[in-house]
Amino acid sequence: MDSMRECSSIGLLNVISVFKNTMTIIQILVPIILLIFAAIGLFKLMMNPDDKKLKKDIINKFIAALIVFFVPTIINTLLNILGTNTNLSTCWTLSDNYSITNKATYKRINETRKPSTILTDPSDYEKGEPKSSACGEKIARLAVEVAGTATPEHFIKSPDGRNYCAFNKSNDPRLSRYNQIHDSRVSCNHAYASCTQAAATVIDAAADPEINWMGPAAQWYYLEHSSKWEEITLGPGQKWSDVLQPGDVGETMWDSSSGHSWIYVGNELVREKFPNSTGNLYQAGYSSCKNPHIDDGGSFVNSSNTSYHYFRFIGDCSEAETANVKDGYGGPKAYNC
């Protein structure tokens, strides 16, 4: 995961990916055009064999065609040889495994990756709320612990009456535990109400200190390719509430630059702290200025919308207890501060 940490900016990956795709088109198209013009020149030369200027022009077109064709190959080879020795070469290599469209799509790095969990037989599920693994429960319990409010309570306001916005640290005592853990896991660029950082605060401290902090697309990319996480897939006729377990992490992208991250926690754990709540989802809101909270989940839970992607932790969550904090995706190395 070190190479991903070096290039955890999806924007940079996107720019490099577009540049490489453009370079590939130029590598093929321009030599063809040059060779066509060279062929036309050869035809003219047959009509006028003594035209030295025409001979030189034909030779120059052949040389230019060779240069345009081989230079991108040379650049690719050099940067791939450098591997992860420089940020540029790391991003250059990772961009081969990344593509983004208007709805953000991702290519698998390793096709032998463990397949998604598909449960189609109703007998596979216990009656009542699904039980999670010990690590999943650890994630869910911490999410409930740090949540400041839960439906039907109102969101926490800052002292001047505004909503608790992304970069404003609230001094409300209900968020003291969240602020404490958040500050211990990230060194700078504290986006306290960011959905991604709210989720990462919990995941980092409870299970996976390598989790990506830098936006839904980057976090989704990490979950999709990490051997510590397994994607959950709906079976025929199922909705998410049929398969989710406490601690499952949700991701979605609404377009190429905006999306959402959240954690399913289940109502049973929520009621231990918020007895009157019907909520089952932990999330925050960067653009809507919503503090980390518990709510009912809506379509994130009660639908079969396949634009939502859920991931389940299958790694060793004990490494979060011994990991050196403030050195991962949220540390100075990633944010350059």
194 within domain boundaries = yes
Same domain, 167 and 51: no
Q: Which of 40, 65, 97 is the last residue of a domain?
A: 97
Same domain, 88 and 163: no
Predicted confidence at residue 230, as pLDDT, reads: 95
Same domain, 264 and 330: yes
Cα atoms found within 13 Å of the Cα of residue 257, Cβ hemisphere only: 4
Please report which helix (H) or strand (E) contains residue 311, including its range: strand 309-313
Instruction: Express each pLDDT in 249-265 by its tens digit.
Output: 999 988 777 889 999 99
Same domain, 68 and 157: no
282 within domain boundaries = yes
Average pLDDT over residues 214-231: 90
Same domain, 154 and 71: no
Same domain, 37 and 177: no
148 within domain boundaries = yes
How far is it, in rounded angstroms, from Cα 80 to Cα 265? 42
Of 217 and 325, which is predicted with more confidence? 217
Same domain, 86 and 161: no
Instruction: Express each pLDDT in 42-97 by its tens digit.
Output: 888 888 877 778 888 888 888 988 888 888 778 777 766 655 444 555 566 555 54
In Å, what is the CA distance from 239 to each residue of 151, 278, 305?
A: 22, 18, 8
Q: Which domain holds residue 50?
A: 2-97
Of 126 and 41, which is predicted with more confidence? 41
How far is it, in rounded angstroms, from Cα 329 to Cα 205? 13
Predicted confidence at residue 131, as pLDDT, reads: 57
Q: 16 falls in which pLDDT band (50, 70, 90)?
A: confident
Q: Which of 63, 97, 131 is the last residue of a domain?
A: 97
Same domain, 124 and 87: no
Of 104 and 309, which is predicted with more confidence? 309
Instruction: Express each pLDDT in 186-203 by its tens digit.
Output: 766 677 888 988 999 999
Number of structural domains the chain divides into: 2
Q: What percent of the chain has pLDDT over 70?
A: 71
Q: Which of 20-29, 160-169, 240-249, 260-269 has the lowest mean pLDDT?
A: 160-169
